[in-house]
């Protein structure tokens, strides 16, 4: 799993008023705190039987990143953190026209 802090720093946007974060980012892009660490540990420790493969997970997150319903790491349709939702193999995109 990539380093959350370096990811957040790499994707944050600097301005004259300090760092701002894109509202279209995943939580991994937002988190420079330990708040989300529990979620990442939960995902990491999911049982392999229910966990999406890494390729599937990354593909899902890529689609979420391009989606107009992603807001601060959450899906505006279901209210889930998309990184959590996408990590479980049986889950699916809740949009009427499913993206994954």
Residues of this chain that bind ligand SF4 (CB under 6 A):
63-64, 67, 69-70, 75, 77, 82, 93-95, 99
Q: CB 61 → ligand SF4: shortest distance, Å?
A: 8
Q: CB 76 → ligand SF4: shortest distance, Å?
A: 7
Which residue number, 9 or 43, has a Cβ lying nearer to ligand SF4? 43
Q: CB 89 → ligand SF4: shortest distance, Å?
A: 15
Whole-Å CA distances, 52 to 43, 55, 87: 10, 8, 5
Which residue number, 31 or 83, has a Cβ lying nearer to ligand SF4? 83
- For Cα atoms 46, 63, 77, give the angle at the middle one, nearest 5 degrees: 80
Whole-Å CA distances, 37 to 19, 73, 76, 81: 21, 14, 22, 13
Q: Give the β-pairing of 18-20 and 13-15.
A: antiparallel
Which residue number, 18 or 79, has a Cβ lying nearer to ligand SF4? 79
């Amino acid at each position: 799993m990539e380093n959350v802090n370096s990811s957040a720093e790499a994707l944050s946007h600097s301005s004259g008023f300090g760092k701002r974060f894109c509202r279209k980012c995943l939580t991994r892009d937002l988190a420079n705190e330990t708040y989300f660490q529990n979620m990442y540990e939960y995902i990491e420790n999911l049982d392999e039987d229910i966990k999406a493969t890494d390729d599937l997970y990354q593909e899902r997150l890529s689609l979420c990143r391009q989606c107009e319903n992603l807001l601060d790491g959450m899906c505006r349709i279901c209210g889930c953190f998309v990184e959590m939702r996408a990590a479980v193999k049986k889950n699916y995109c809740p949009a009427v026209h499913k993206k994954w």
